[in-house]
Amino acid sequence: MTHEFESAMKQLPSNLPCNHTRVGAVRWRQSAERFHTDGGRLLTLWGSDDRDRDGLFRIYAAYLLKEGVAVVEHEMEHGTTPAYPSLAETFPCALRMERAIHDLLGITSMEPDHRGWLRHGGWPQTVFPLRRDFDGSQQFSVNSQPYPFVQVEGDGVHEIAVGPVHAGTIEPGHFRFSVVGEKVLRLEERLGYTHKGVSKRFEEMSQKEGRHLAARLSGDSAVAFSWAYAAALEAITQTACPPRAANLRALALEHERLANHLGDLGALGNDAGFAFGLTQFSRMKEDLLRVNLSTFGARYLFDFIQPGGVASDLPPSAPPLLLDHYHVLEENVSSLRVIYDNHAGLQDRFRESGILSQEMAEKLGAIGLAGRASGVPLDLRVDHPCSPYDRLQPKMITQSAGDVAARVQVRFDEIFESLRLCRMLLADFAPGPIQTECSLAEPGRLGLGLIEGWRGPVLIALESGPDGAIRRCHAHDPSWQNWPLLEYAILGNIVPDFPLINKSFNLSYSGHDG
């Protein structure tokens, strides 16, 4: 970055090193290109309607760089159609985010794809729900229109439409396959079915209440999102979370990672026809959830993390119980790994299925678990550790093959690494308070919270309003980056392998749709 540009950067409150700058339309693109050349990632894009304040719309981009996070802000006059230059040419994952921003705010990127992404006909095309003059309680009757999927033509090419209601206990989304025989020529995803209007809902909540919604953005990442929310609020109110509470948060986050990885390993075995794997891993997951209930007071920790600390302390009986549990779990997972690794039928399905090459992963901006399985070493706990991870020094787990087998191996390795971190946390549990008062933020303060959840980095950008209100809260799930990867990973594979490949990514619909 040019010297001039860097000097314009100001620090932004966050749990990571974070800078902020305002740019014009030209710099908006140039900065993206520069960050891209330097190996940076686009973390998220969000817009804001500030016409009530200064007559402007704003668009923000957050980038993950080696030295931390850079937030770039661009202002737009309120013309007939406020527009900004698209970043999709530099960062392909920006395209869907830009389409979503248009659906909610009516500000447009100069990109030709204007198909609705979150708006499926549930509200009129001329209504933009995130604008301040829109009343969020307004309801409209659904007027659904056909979605123009990209057609593939040729001899024997036909389409298979799947969803939104899927044939299992999973979330809704639509997949359109163009196939010849059983071979997939193209997959196009259509998401947005679980859009519940969370950004607008946040604006009706107080800063204190917001954590309940943050925890429910994606139920499998409740700890990660509620921590990110707390981190953002603590950053703008300059509240320091007590060390014991930080330890408890990390313990909860690692338990969430363990529970999800166990569930996925079982489901992956099952999708490859090995029901024994599902039985064994779902049993281990249930054991862990029951341990959660006796140590944290809930099976899923939706309301455990709150701004300023955590809701409850571990009972005195917990540490020995947890250590025993970790010991049994480690032994069980080790022996299951031997069984998985030596099962010819299972490996035949896992290996070379759904390959996402490192080159493609880099090009598309893969992050989180799926990125690490394709040799993209990114993990906030390692690269930008916030307390207590700075002390724990987590290991970066990567694989290079980028196939289903690699994503399975990353999960196995991360389970062992998480168990090591949990043991370290328990060994170093100094007594102390678990909660400190989190004051109300001054109005107009913007802060970022970033936490490496089990799927990848989750982000909350929080702007305070007057009297403890939320002016704007943008939540970002790593699934935004990783859903498009699946469209590439499936190419050339057969349709029956799709459930297996999809499960190996296990991306969030709710976290993405918002």
Partner 1 sequence: MINTLSRMIRTGILTETFPTPCAASPSVEGLQKDLRNILGRALCIRHVDAGSCNGCELEIQALNNPYYNLEGFGIKFVASPRHADLLLVTGPVSVNMEEALKRTLDAVPDPKLVVAVGDCGACGGVFGTSYASRGAVANVIPVHRTVSGCPPSPVAILEAIRSAVLGV
Judging by beta carbons within 10 Å of its beta carbon (0-12, 13-18, 19+), is residue 316 exposed, middle or buried?
Answer: exposed
Least distance in angstroms from the C-beta of 342 to partner 1: 7
Which is closer to partner 1, CB of 84 or CB of 300? 300
Asked if 297 is part of the footprint of partner 1 (rule: CB under 8 A), the reply reads no
User: What's the CA gap between 378 and 226, in Å, rounded?
Assistant: 21
Tokens for 114, please give them: 């204007």
Binding mask 121-150 for partner 1 (x = CB under 8 A): -xx---x-x----x-xxxxx-x-x------
- Per CB under 8 A, the list member of 72, 336, 419, 438 interacting with partner 1 is 336
Of 201, 208, 391, 423, the one binding partner 1 by CB under 8 A: 201
Which helix (H) or strand (E) element contains residue 264? helix 243-271
Are 295 and 314 in contact, with CB atoms under 8 Å apart? Answer: yes
Q: How far is the CB of 508 from partner 1 (least distance, A)?
A: 7
Does the footprint of partner 1 cover residue 456 (CB under 8 A)?
A: no
Asked if 286 touches partner 1 (CB under 8 A), the answer is yes
Q: What tokens were used for 179?
A: 């196939």
The count of other CB atoms within 10 Å of the CB of residue 168 is 9
| Region for residue 224 given its phi and psi (left: phi exceeds 0; alpha: psi -120 to 50; beta: otherwise) | alpha
Q: Beta strand 183-190 with 470-476: parallel, antiparallel or unpaired?
A: unpaired
Residue 510 interacts with partner 1 (CB under 8 A): yes or no: yes
Q: Which of 68, 92, 219, 319 binds partner 1 (CB under 8 A)?
A: 219
Tokens of residue 215, six digits: 């925890």
x/- string (CB under 8 A) for partner 1, residues 251-270?
------------x-------
Among 299, 391, 420, 423, binds partner 1 (CB under 8 A): 299
394 forms part of the interface with partner 1 (CB under 8 A):
no
How crowded is residue 295: how many other Cβ atoms within 10 Å of its Cβ?
Answer: 22
Q: How far is the CB of 266 from partner 1 (least distance, A)?
A: 9
Q: Which of 110, 165, 240, 396 binds partner 1 (CB under 8 A)?
A: 165
Closest distance of CB 367 from partner 1, Å: 20
Alpha helices in 297-403 (DSSP H): 318-342, 344-350, 358-364, 368-372, 380-383, 389-392
Nearer CB in complex with partner 1: 116/388: 116
Interactions with partner 1, residue window 84-113 (CB under 8 A): none
- DSSP secondary structure code for residue 296 in this structure: H
**Dist CA 57 CA 76 (whole Å):** 5
The verdict on 238 binding partner 1 (CB under 8 A) reads: no
Strand partners, 8: none
Helix axes 498-505, 404-427, angle to 10 degrees: 30
Per-residue x/- marks for partner 1, 145-164, CB under 8 A? -------------------x
> What is the Cα 468 distance to its own chain's centre?
26
Q: How far is the CB of 253 from partner 1 (least distance, A)?
A: 16
What does the DSSP 8-state code read for residue 467? Answer: G
- Total residues contacting partner 1 by CB under 8 A comes to 62
196 contributes a contact to partner 1 by CB under 8 A: yes
**Span of 22-30, 54-62, 119-127, 429-437 interacting with partner 1 by CB under 8 A:** 119-127
Smallest distance from the beta carbon of 272 to partner 1, in angstroms? Answer: 14
Of 122 and 394, which CB lies nearer to partner 1 in the complex structure?
122
Residue 312 CB, nearest approach to partner 1 (Å): 17
Question: By CB under 8 A, is residue 285 in contact with partner 1?
Answer: yes
Q: Coil, strand, or helix at residue 204?
A: coil
Give the H or E element holding residue 83: strand 83-84
Among 8, 9, 170, 440, binds partner 1 (CB under 8 A): 170
Omega before residue 92 within 30° of 0, cis: no
Cβ atoms of 304 and 435 closer than 8 Å: no
Q: Closest approach of Cβ 124 to partner 1, in Å?
A: 10
Among 112, 342, 430, 437, binds partner 1 (CB under 8 A): 342
Take residue 489 and report the two structure tokens written for it: 């990973």
For residues 231 and 416, give the distance between their C-alpha atoms in angstroms, rounded to a whole number. 27
β-strand 10-11 against 18-23: which pairing, if any?
Answer: antiparallel
Q: Where on the chain is the footprint of partner 1 (CB under 8 A)?
A: 118, 120, 122-123, 127, 129, 134, 136-140, 142, 144, 164-165, 167-172, 192-198, 200-201, 212-213, 216-220, 222, 263, 276, 279-280, 282-283, 285-286, 289, 299-300, 302, 335-336, 338-339, 342-343, 508-511, 513
